Amino acid sequence: MDKYVIKGGNPLVGEVEIGGAKNAALAILTAAIMTDEPVTVDNIPDVSDINVLLEAISVIGATVERIDRHTARINGVTIGSVSVDYAYIKKIRASYYLLGALLGKYKRAEVPLPGGCNIGSRPIDQHLKGFRALGATVEIKNGNIVTSAERLHGAHIFMDMVSVGATINIMMAAALAEGNTIIENAAREPHVVDVANFLNCMGANIKGAGTDVIRIRGVQQLHRTSYTIVPDMIEAGTYMFAAAATKGDVLIKEIIPKHLEAMTAKLQEIGCEVEEFDDAIRVCAKTRLGKTQVKTLPYPGFPTDMQPQMSVVLSLANGTSIVTESIFENRFKYADELMRMGANVKIEGNTAIIDGVSQLTGARISAPDLRAGAALVIAGLAAEGITVVDDIVYIQRGYEDFAGKLRNLGAEIEQVREEREIMKFRLRVG
Ligand code: UD1
């Protein structure tokens, strides 16, 4: 199993380019099968979640051509099945977007019910409630969600909670329903907007994405388009916090600074210098950072996907910080690993109380999930000595060339497979 081996202590300095948003790409590549014409999507991140999704789409019959590392051409005209294999949903929950896409296009879909995952129980009742409101029947049979409709019709849907996945899934199905749909209490994340923009480029009629009321006028069919995915705000945020944790100075390029405001505000509050440009942001940490309180919230609040990275920065800050996780129930699994590196973290329910220490020390640790894994790498970069991070498959789900981009910023990090390669690394870095 591959691992990262890191010699910490170097401030990250330099420039890093951010790729397209993984979470937008997962939905957009799925929505691309909703037309029988070719669709070209650019700025796709080359990460394992995306590659699994493209395989899932091709297994149901869609034509998927990888034009280059970041561009794919998809044609849904060849689809021969509306039933998705459990192997895919097990690997990536987001293959549940095939429910909305297939239901909208073919008025039926069969997708395995996703189970819980490392960050907690993740129900999809709001997705199903939305499909039912659009006139579909939804049944759970042999572990699968089986949904079908004679015809889909517009509806006025109130979401019980703000859900990115449900907003997108319902938006996809409603794009091809008859009449008008209104989604109230919709998620406002940049990737919800990106999916709406993409569907509109294919001929859909969606207004209000980015606000909490989305209005969709159903159309009969969608058509060909070319589209470029929005920059990944979580990848960008991860490098911002890596710069902060290592007392570095990093220019993060190819981004939309507006999407990063919640993170920028927190970094400034704890004493980082953050400079915004049109499509870049510079994060510079000169002195030891200070404490704060932070609570994860739906966009534009502080993202849950940045909570572990924030906690790592605060584990090195001066004073006691409080981090409250309000979106997922099990998102502090990295705390034990961080404590093995010398951090002082106490978890009470959905709150972490973090007493900043002046130094972390390298240790052997495991990535418990995607974002927590990235956060532990940041801890390793900031720590004194050698850190080995196991289970990096989680990290590779969402970060393209993580080690390479960090090395360009001056980090000493390598991806290795064998234990003896860890020894070699130790000998080399001294
Ligand atoms: C998406 C992101 C994920 C991010 C999360 C919150 C993708 C592929 N994943 O996940 O990285 O952490 O948004 O920003 O885009 N809920 C229900 N019932 C539902 C749907 C959701 O109770 O039907 C609850 C969830 O358990 C959670 C909250 O609503 O507590 C938010 O979940 P949601 O926004 O749906 O997250 P995902 O779309 O799964």
Query: What pLDDT digit, counting tens, does each position of 70-101 carry?
Result: 999 999 999 999 998 888 888 888 889 999 99
Nearest CA to ligand 1 atom 12: 305
Give ∠ CA 190-196-199 in degrees, rounded to 5: 145
- pLDDT band for position 116 (50/70/90)? low
**Virtual torsion, Cα 376, 379, 381, 382, nearest 10 deg:** 180
Asked whether the predicted pLDDT for residue 158 surpasses 90, the reply is yes
345 touches 338 (CB < 8 A):
yes
Model confidence over 122-137: pLDDT tens digits? 889 999 999 999 999 9
CATH topology for the 22-228 domain: UDP-n-acetylglucosamine1-carboxyvinyl-transferase; Chain (3.65.10)
Q: How confident is the model at residue 117 (pLDDT cuts 50, 70, 90)?
A: low
- DSSP-derived secondary structure letter, 258: G
| Topology of domain 3-19+231-429, CATH | UDP-n-acetylglucosamine1-carboxyvinyl-transferase; Chain (3.65.10)
- In this predicted structure, what is the pLDDT of residue 249? 98
User: Is 117 one of the catalytic residues?
Assistant: yes
Distance, CA 187 to ligand 1 centroid (Å)?
Answer: 10
Q: What does the pLDDT look like over 35-52, one tens digit per residue?
A: 999 999 999 999 999 999
117, 201, 272, 284: the active-site residue: 117
User: Residue 430: what pLDDT?
Assistant: 77
Q: Of the residues 91, 327, 394, 395, which should be mutated to test ligand 1's pocket, given the most ligand atoms within 8 Å of the CB?
A: 327
All CATH 3.65.10.10 domain ranges of the chain, comma separated, are 3-19+231-429, 22-228
Measured in Å, residue 95 CA sits from the centre of ligand 1 at 13
For atom 26 of ligand 1, the residue with the nearest CA is: 122
pLDDT at res. 306: 98
- Ligand 1 centre to CA of 363 (Å) is 32
Q: What rounded mean pLDDT belongs to the chain?
A: 96
Q: Give the pLDDT band (50/70/90) at residue 115.
A: low
Q: Is the pTM of this model over 0.95?
A: yes
- Give the pLDDT confidence score for residue 409 in this predicted structure: 98
Q: Is the pLDDT of residue 185 over 70?
A: yes
**Closest C-alpha to ligand 1, atom 11:** 305
pLDDT per residue over 407-426, tens digit each? Answer: 999 999 999 999 999 999 99
Centre a 10 Å sphere on the Cβ of residue 163 and count the other Cβ atoms it contains: 23
Report the run of H or E that residue 163 belongs to, with start and end.
none
User: Could you say which DSSP state residue 318 is in?
Assistant: B
Pocket residues for ligand 1 (CB within 6 Å)? Answer: 23, 26, 94, 122-127, 161, 163-166, 187, 303-305, 327-328
* Segments in 92-176 forming alpha helices (H): 97-106, 125-133, 164-175
For the cut 80, the answer to whether the pLDDT of residue 331 exceeds it is yes
Give 301's pLDDT tier (boundaries 50, 70, 90): very high
What's the mean pLDDT in 248-259?
Answer: 98
